[in-house]
Structures are given as structure tokens and as C-alpha cells.
Amino acid sequence: MQRLAPALRKDNVPLDLISLIKTILAATKEISFRVSQAHLSGLMGSTLDENIQGEVQKKLDVVANELFKDILLESGFVKAISSEEEDSSVAGDENGKYIVSFDPLDGSSNIDINSLIGTIFSIHQAPADMDASDPNMFKQAGNKQVCAGYVLYGPSTMLVMTTGSGTHFYVLDRTHGGYLQVERNVQVPQDTQEFAINMSNQRFWQQPMQNYINDLLAGDTGPRGKNFNMRWIAAMVGDIHRVLCRGGLFTYPADNKNPEKPYKLRLMYEANPMSFLLEQAGGLAMTSQGRIMDIEPTDIHQRVEVIMGSKNEVQACLAYYQ
């Protein structure tokens, strides 16, 4: 098993990007430790605050965000950061070559039940002609990401990352404190009999998604001619990890539950990094209108519809929208 830095050098990742990735991973090791100790150190439950998303922040959301932000801003490698838990972007070093968007803890509702959570990150090049305090730096499409990944704080702490040369799996080896590469060039099976969606929103979906899911539920006697299984971890990191491991379709479709908020997941620090990882593994990552990574963002906290995973199944779903 290969250590992280030599594995990245093999993929011709520039040295300054390797340094930034190592900084990010130092933060995730600390978060992994804090997560494992949360119950013992009074870090379960919610704060009294809401984030910019209108969600009540968990204590661990705040701790993970502060850790990630501080470590990144102190490193000197980043020009600015943006986070799910920050109102706007935060300036770093004017000479930093990169900008980082992150979801410090994904799957917050799992925190208090000791279930799967993770951290998601996305790295872009910093535009040289913009000020570190200018949030417009973040308005770059997902197809310009130079690195994306997530860390799962599960039975083992696992990193899944791409720098554009395939999607690779790493596991945190606590005996030496570093991530070791355990699988190279993961491939998402093109066909699947598994889907992930929050079924409780069914009555709020648009008609094409209602029709698609009804056909999946109809099983081997329905139009799809096969039985489908359903899974929902309520943490995108967990659901996408399952899709990367054994295939599947993951969607958080548009719904009219709250007409002002038709989408749930965030483009910059959820949809884009997961899209990069899935596409690098041979999967597809779409909205009903086109490729997620081609969206030109207008806002750091912009939300988006996602339909992603096994190629043939994503295409089967999109056919219902035509």
C-alpha cells in the first residue's frame, strides 16, 4: 500500500497542491479525533445558532468548520475559503494559489446517533487578478476543479480523492498517522439495481421523477423488468461512497415542498466535488437539464438538483424528463 504523497507524485500532482492536500488531511485527522470523542467532551447536540442555509448548527458542525478554516488559513497555501457554515468567503493569503470550498461535516443529522458523517472538499486555482476578499473568485464551474474529495468518519476513516487522474481510495492508518492508498482507479458499475432518494418527499417531486421511481418500485413485472433495492444514509458522503463501491443511482431531485427552495444540495461543496469523483470513476453526475460540472455558479451557497451514479441508470432516469 502506497503512502499518499508518493501516490500523488506518481499522478504528476504539483508540489504546492500536494502541500495543500496534506494540510487538508491534517485537518481531517483532527476532526476524526474530535468526532470520536464528541460524546465524552460535551460536543453532542445543537448550538443556538443557525447557519446561512437556515439550518440549526450542531456543535460539531461549528468545531469542524473552525478547525478546517483555521488550519487552511494558517497554511499560506490558500487565497480564500468558502464553507457551508460561513456566510461568505473568508480571505486567506494574497499569494495563495488555490481556493477551497468545503462542507466541514456532511450528514449533520447523523451526529447525535453515532452514524456516518464526513467532510467534503473542492479545490480550484485562485484567479491571480482578484483580491483575496472577493467572493467572485468562487464563481468557477466544477469542470475547473483541480482536486476534490471527501473523508468518511466511519468504522475506518477513509479518504476518497481525485486530482483528475482517476478516483482513488485511502484509509487512515493510525499506526503511523497517515493515509495509505488502498484502491486505485475505482470504477462505478454502469448498471445497477439500487437507488437512493428521500422517499418521504415523493408527493413534492416533479412528475418525471414520480414516474421514474414508480417504475423502479414496480420491480420485475414493471417496465424496467428488474427489482430494485433502496438505501438512504441521510449523509451524501455515505450514499455516494456506496455508489462508488458497488454502483447505484443517488438523487436529490427538485421538489415543491418549499417553493422558494426547490433544491436541497449545495453546488460548490456537495454536488461539484461528488460529480468530479463520480465522473473520474466512469459515472455520470447530472441535473435534469445537463451536466452538473458545467454549471456556471452565481452564488457560493447555490443549490442544485442532483441525479448521479451508475451511467446507464442516470441516463434511464433522465429519459423521463425528455
- Which residues of this protein are in contact with ligand AHG, per CB under 6 A? 55, 84, 103, 106-109, 198, 234-236, 264
Q: What's the closest the beta carbon of residue 109 comes to Mn ion, in angstroms? A: 9
CB of 309 to Mn ion, least distance (A): 17
Closest separation in Å from C-beta 82 to ligand AHG: 14
* Residue length of the chain: 322
Minimum Å distance from CB 61 to ligand AHG? 7
CA 244 to chain centre: 12
Nearer to ligand AHG, 96 or 118 (CB): 118
Q: Kindly provide the residue ranges of all beta strands, DSSP E only, lying in the chain, ordered along the sequence.
A: 2-3, 46-50, 56-58, 78-83, 90-91, 98-106, 118-125, 147-153, 157-162, 167-173, 178-183, 194-196, 229-230, 249-252, 265-266, 284-286, 303-304, 306-309
Task: Kindly give the pairing relationship between strand 46-50 and strand 284-286.
Answer: unpaired
Query: Which amino acid would we find at residue 179?
Result: Y
116 marked ligand binding residue: no
105 among the known binding-site residues? Answer: yes
Closest approach, Cβ 55 to Mn ion, in A, equals: 5
**The binder of Mn ion chosen from 84, 239, 255, 313 (CB under 5 A):** 84
Q: Check residue 194 for interaction with Mn ion (CB under 5 A).
A: no
Distance CA 158, CA 161 (A): 10
The reply to whether 270 sits in an annotated binding site is yes
| Residue 196 binding partner per list ligand AHG, Mn ion, none, with a CB distance cut-off of 5 to 8 Å that depends on partner kind | none
DSSP of 202-229: GGGB-HHHHHHHHHHHTGGGSTT-S--E
Check residue 239 for interaction with Mn ion (CB under 5 A): no
Percentages (nearest 5) of helix, strand, coil residues in the chain = 35, 25, 40
Of the candidates 83, 100, 103, 240, which one interacts with Mn ion according to CB under 5 A? Answer: 103
Residue 234 binds which one of ligand AHG, Mn ion, none, with CB within 5 to 8 A depending on kind?
Answer: ligand AHG
Extract the annotated binding site for substrate: 106-109, 198, 264
Binding residues (CB under 5 A) for Mn ion: these are: 55, 84, 103, 105-106, 108
